[in-house]
Structure formats: structure tokens, C-alpha cells
């Protein structure tokens, strides 16, 4: 029986021994959650930020409990308000604790037509993801020519410090850093403020924002930032004080002590923030990819569990072969402590999966793996990492099997027009 003292002794040896730090190490996740949070903090000393709060415990059990508590009717009425009946399912969908398809099926079964708006919003996740599959790493660069001149500024230090002087924006940063979750409307306002008012390069800001989120997903995050910027939309998104006050109940305006940069008509704001006559440039940004490596000469086959399939109900976890998950710094070194802990919560419900800390390729080689089976993913970094192990990619559960052209995938309205009859079982007008 592993005691907590024994686990922490091993942990201390691991952290202080530089030779061990260069090798792989099998983690032993405590069953007790408080002990597990402490264990992860010790095992990942480089991970920044606070512990994961109780309200965001990871795992399939918590995900299903939240799904059962969803009120799709109320969501349809007030989702845009900061205190609206949003589902807060996104971290669980991101990590595969729930699939979009089973979530949509549940909503339709329990709410029927009253759940249509929530189903449509859930379809955005499929829309972003299909674009990622189709375009690959191109989603990390301008998808289209921007419709306005965009800035190139670095992210100012006062942004991650949450000291903008604007209570509305500082609250977004506080929620982001403390919880790892921000209401969608808050994300839109914040991105618009960063891109259009501060003229920060959208990719720099999107990278930082995504790294702080429990539900951080390259497709939904970066393509949403591009939608705000106008590199994946027909016009830039921006807002004014009236809009912000309406959907926050003037919660932040009442305590604001500075002249509001958003307090004007849309026409005047457009003239003010888009008055720069600078060149409109379509940018391409680099994406760090794993180096190529020789094909493994080993013979055993294992299931490789990645961070989009963290559920004990995932079909691949039922296969009669070893199952491996690796906390690889190439993928997770920039993630905050709370997100590592969220994933550890998920993995604690998957006792048949061996959890490792180290280099993915080194772990698989040490285990004698010559081939891996895994759930398909649009993440080309993961695919490149596993390329030496002759990967077999099993298709993930799809929301819709409708074939979509690039033109359909260029705008959500076109996508939804095509898939709505298949998903809702209705004919579009």
C-alpha cells in the first residue's frame, strides 16, 4: 500500500535529482483529491498559479453531473448575460470527459426544441474542430486577409498582472488566472480590447490566453480570436459601454474610476479605433513541431491516451493492451498548475491507464512500444510526436457526418445551414 509519505518521499527524490529529471518517471496518483492536488504541485514545480478550485474538479463523474444540471431552456433565454445559465461544460468537452455528440443527444432528449439554441452553440465546437482538421497548423496564422489594419504590439505586462485600471477587464484576468474559466461574452470583450484598443498582435495574445484556460483548445480559442480580429470573419468585432453594461448589469461600470474607453457610439468607436491607415497584411506565424525520429524497432502495441480522450468510457480504454498517458513538457510545460491538476483528476478515474512524466518518445521506447493506437486528433504536434510508433488513428465520435466544403467551413452560418437538418432533424427553410 502506497502511503502519502512514501509518495512524497519519491517525489522529493525525483525533483531534487537532476539525473532523474532527464528520464521518464511513472506517476502514482493518490485517490484522495486533496493529496492528489498536493502531489501534482510537488511533481510539477515549474507549473505556475494556484491550485485547482473545488468547483472545477475534473473527471467524467463531475462532467456527467454538470450535464445533468444543465437548464437548456434558461440557457436559450439568458446565455449572453454574465450571470446567465451557461453550462460550464467546456473543460470537460475539451478533455473528452464528454463528447459533443452525447451532450447534444442528452439536450435533445431532455429539452427537445427548447434546447435548440444550446445545440447550435455546442455545434461551434465541431465547427472550430473541423476547421482544425482541414487546415492544420494554418489556424495559428491569419486565415484570411484582415478587414482592418491590425497592430503588432507585444502583450503589455499590466495585462497578465490584471492592473489595466478597468474593472471589467481586470475581472476577466482575475477569473482567468484564478479559475481558468471566463464567460464567452467576457472572452469576446477582452479579446476586442486587447486587439483593437491596445493593438496587440492577436496571435501573441491568443497564445497567452489559451495557456491559462482549463478549456484551452487551439481551434476554438485561436479561431475565436481571429473572428474578433477579422482574419476569420467578414468584419472586426468590437463593443461599447452600453453593450457591456447591459450584459453585466453595470456590475463593473459602477466601480470604474477612469474615463471609459468604450463609452461612445459604435460609429464613433469605429472611427477612433480603426483610424490607422497602416498596411493590411496577412501574417503567417511559426508553430513549434517535434523533430523527426527513427521508426521504433520494438514490437509491442499500446494505446496512447492523449488529452482529448480523458474518460473511462472512451472505447480505446477497453482494449486488452497497455494504456499510456504521458505528461510531456513539450506539450504541457506552459500550462498552469490548475490545468495539470484538472487532468490528474480525470486520469484518477482511469486506473487502467499508466500515467508517466517525461518525454513521450522515451517512455514508449522504454516500454518497448513499436506501435500505438490512439483517438484521431487534429493536433499535428501530437501526431508528429507519435510518428515513430506507426500510429493507428481511430476516428472520434462525430457530431455530424455531413460532408462540408471549405466554403461552408469559412463561416459558421454556412456550416450551420448545412448541418442543422442532420443534427436537429429539421428541414432548413
d(CA 32, CA 55): 16
Q: Which CATH architecture has domain 60-137+404-424?
A: Alpha Horseshoe (1.25)
DSSP string, 183-228: -HHHHHHHHHIIIIIS-B-HHHHHHHHHHH-TT--HHHHHHHHHHH
- Spatial separation of the C-alpha atoms in residues 369 and 302, rounded to whole Å: 7
Q: Quick one: 115 exposed, middle or buried, by C-beta within 10 A (0-12, 13-18, 19+)?
A: buried
The DSSP 8-state label assigned to residue 385 in this structure reads H
Q: What is the pLDDT of residues 22-67, one digit of tens each?
A: 578 999 999 999 999 999 999 999 999 999 999 999 999 999 999 9
Mind giving me the DSSP string for 90-127? HHHHHTTSS-HHHHHHHHHHHHGGGGHHHHHHHHHHHH
Burial of 390 (C-beta count, 10 Å sphere; 0-12/13-18/19+): middle
The answer to whether 174 touches 252, Cβ cutoff 8 Å, is no
Residues 241 and 206: beta-carbon distance below 8 Å = no
CATH 1.10.579.10 in the chain, residue ranges: 158-273
Q: Exposed e or buried b for every residue in 321-330, given b needs 16+ CB within 10 A? A: ebbbbbbbee
pLDDT at 23: 75
By the 8 A CB rule, do 370 and 298 touch? yes
Percent share of the chain, pLDDT over 70: 94
Percent of the chain whose predicted confidence (pLDDT) is above 90: 91
- Point out the least confidently predicted range of 9-18, 114-123, 166-175, 230-239: 9-18
Give pLDDT tens digits for 73-107.
999 999 999 999 999 999 999 999 999 999 999 99
pLDDT (mean) for 344-353? 97
- pLDDT category at 6 given cuts 50, 70, 90 is low
- State the Cα–Cα distance between residues 131 and 136, nearest whole angstrom: 8
- Take residue 425 and report the three cell numbers written for it: 432533424
| CATH 1.25.40 domain range(s) in the chain | 60-137+404-424
pLDDT of residue 3: 53
Residue 375, beta-bridge partner list: 394
- What is the pLDDT, as a whole number, of residue 9? 54
β pairing state of 392-394 and 323-327: unpaired
Task: Name the pLDDT band for 427 (thresholds 50, 70, 90).
Answer: very low
In the chain, what's the furthest Cα-to-Cα distance? Answer: 69
Taking 90 as the threshold, does the pLDDT of residue 2 lie above it?
A: no
Is 301 in contact with 369 (CB distance < 8 Å)? yes
Give the residue carrying C-alpha cell 496571435.
203
Helix (H) or strand (E) holding 302: strand 300-304
pLDDT of res. 51: 97
173 backbone dihedrals φ, ψ, rounded to 5° = -65, -40
Which of 201 and 7 is assigned the larger pLDDT? 201
What pLDDT does residue 278 have?
A: 79
Task: Please tell me the pTM assigned to this model.
Answer: 0.93
**Fold for the domain defined by 158-273:** DNA Cyclobutane Dipyrimidine Photolyase, subunit A; domain 3 (1.10.579)
d(CA 148, CA 280): 6
Note the pLDDT tens digit of each residue in 298-344: 999 999 999 999 999 999 999 999 999 999 999 998 999 999 999 99
Each residue of 251-261: pLDDT tens digit?
A: 999 889 999 99
Q: Cell numbers 468537452 correspond to what residue?
A: 93
Amino acid at each position: 500500500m502506497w502511503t502519502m509519505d512514501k509518495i512524497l518521499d519519491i517525489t522529493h527524490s525525483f525533483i531534487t535529482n537532476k539525473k532523474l529529471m532527464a528520464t521518464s518517471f511513472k506517476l502514482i496518483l493518490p485517490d484522495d483529491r486533496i493529496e492528489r492536488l498536493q502531489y501534482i504541485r510537488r511533481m510539477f514545480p515549474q507549473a505556475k498559479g494556484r491550485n485547482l478550485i473545488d468547483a472545477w474538479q475534473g473527471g467524467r463523474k463531475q462532467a456527467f453531473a454538470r450535464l445533468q444540471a444543465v437548464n437548456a431552456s434558461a440557457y436559450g433565454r439568458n446565455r449572453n448575460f454574465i450571470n446567465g445559465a451557461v453550462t460550464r461544460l467546456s473543460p470537460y468537452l475539451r478533455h473528452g470527459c464528454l463528447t459533443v455528440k452525447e451532450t447534444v443527444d442528452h439536450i435533445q432528449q431532455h429539452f427537445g426544441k427548447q434546447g435548440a439554441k444550446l445545440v447550435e452553440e455546442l455545434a461551434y465546437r465541431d465547427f472550430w474542430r473541423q476547421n482544425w482538421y482541414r487546415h492544420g497548423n494554418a489556424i495559428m496564422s491569419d486565415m484570411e486577409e484582415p478587414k482592418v489594419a491590425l497592430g503588432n504590439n507585444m502583450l503589455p505586462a499590466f495585462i497578465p498582472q490584471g492592473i489595466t485600471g478597468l474593472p471589467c477587464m481586470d475581472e476577466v484576468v482575475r477569473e482567468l488566472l484564478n479559475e481558468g474559466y471566463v464567460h464567452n461574452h467576457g472572452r469576446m470583450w477582452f479579446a476586442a480590447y486587447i486587439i483593437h484598443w491596445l493593438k496587440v498582435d492577436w496571435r501573441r495574445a491568443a497564445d497567452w490566453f489559451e495557456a491559462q484556460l482549463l478549456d484551452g483548445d487551439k481551434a476554438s480559442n485561436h479561431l475565436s480570436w481571429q473572428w474578433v480580429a477579422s482574419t476569420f470573419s467578414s468584419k472586426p468585432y468590437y463593443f461599447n459601454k452600453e453593450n457591456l453594461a447591459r450584459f453585466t448589469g453595470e456590475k463593473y461600470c459602477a466601480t470604474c474610476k477612469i474615463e471609459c474607453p468604450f463609452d461612445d457610439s459604435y460609429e464613433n468607436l469605429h472611427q477612433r479605433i480603426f483610424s490607422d491607415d497602416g498596411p493590411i497584411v496577412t501574417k503567417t506565424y511559426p508553430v513549434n513541431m517535434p523533430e523527426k525520429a527513427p521508426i521504433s524497432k520494438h514490437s509491442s502495441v499500446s494505446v496512447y491516451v492523449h488529452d482529448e480522450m480523458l474518460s473511462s468510457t472512451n472505447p480505446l480504454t477497453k482494449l486488452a493492451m497497455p494504456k499510456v498517458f504521458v505528461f510531456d513538457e513539450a506539450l504541457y510545460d506552459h500550462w498552469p498548475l490548475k490545468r495539470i491538476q484538472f487532468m490528474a483528476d480525470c486520469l484518477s478515474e482511469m486506473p487502467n491507464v499508466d500515467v508517466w512524466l517525461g518525454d513521450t518518445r522515451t517512455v514508449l521506447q522504454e516500454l518497448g512500444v513499436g506501435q500505438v493506437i490512439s483517438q484521431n486528433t487534429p493536433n499535428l504536434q501530437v501526431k508528429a510526436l507519435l510518428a515513430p510508433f506507426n500510429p493507428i488513428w481511430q476516428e472520434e465520435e462525430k457530431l455530424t457526418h455531413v460532408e462540408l466544403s471549405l466554403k461552408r467551413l469559412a463561416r459558421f452560418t454556412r456550416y450551420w445551414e448545412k448541418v442543422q437538418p442532420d443534427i436537429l432533424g429539421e428541414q432548413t427553410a
